Amino acid sequence: MGQNGTGKTTFIKLLAGLEAPLDGVKLPKLNVSYKPQTISPKFKGTVEELFMSKIQKLWMDPQFQSDVVRPLKVHELKDLKVQDLSGGELQRSAIVLALGKPADVYLLDEPSAFLDSEQRIICSKVIRRYILNFKRTCFMVEHDFIMAS
């Protein structure tokens, strides 16, 4: 269906506005926060500098810190250079960035990639709680059955 062969990923990219629909179909403009499947650390500064530049309001919010940042242990990464992060650290940071962007729809492509089993459980709980508390919609592509359920 899509270039990478996965219909679910193509659906996510369509909603995010990264791929055009077939046959000239018009999709409604959505306020979307998108976490891609592949994360490339291009930002040259620290994790905290990245968050301050992208999601400053929520990064500074105590509720966001306790509901999202601390359970994902991203506060421990704040002084590290983004380009020096491991795959799991990048993934957790990307999830914080995605949830930190105010949106009506959250599109998360494989949020459990590079996370160990304990981090996957915590991550799924954080995402679920956040989406339910703020009454938002989330589409998630996930291959880990435990994470998806």
User: Would 2 be classed as within a structural domain?
Assistant: no
pLDDT tens, residue by residue, 2-40: 344 455 556 677 767 677 777 777 767 778 999 998 898
Tell me, what CATH number does 61's domain have?
3.40.50.300
Mean pLDDT of 90-104: 96
Calculate the average pLDDT of the chain: 87
In 41-112 the beta strands, taken as DSSP E runs, fall at: 105-109
Between CA 17 and CA 148 the distance in angstroms is 24
User: Would 1 be classed as within a structural domain?
Assistant: no
pLDDT band at 49 (very low <50, low <70, confident <90, very high): very high
Total structural domains in the chain?
1
User: Would 77 be classed as within a structural domain?
Assistant: yes
User: Would 37 be classed as within a structural domain?
Assistant: yes
Count of CA atoms in the C-beta half-sphere (13 A) of 81: 5
Domain boundaries, position 120: 7-148
Q: What's the whole-model pTM score?
A: 0.83
User: Would 14 be classed as within a structural domain?
Assistant: yes
Question: What was the pLDDT predicted at 143?
Answer: 78
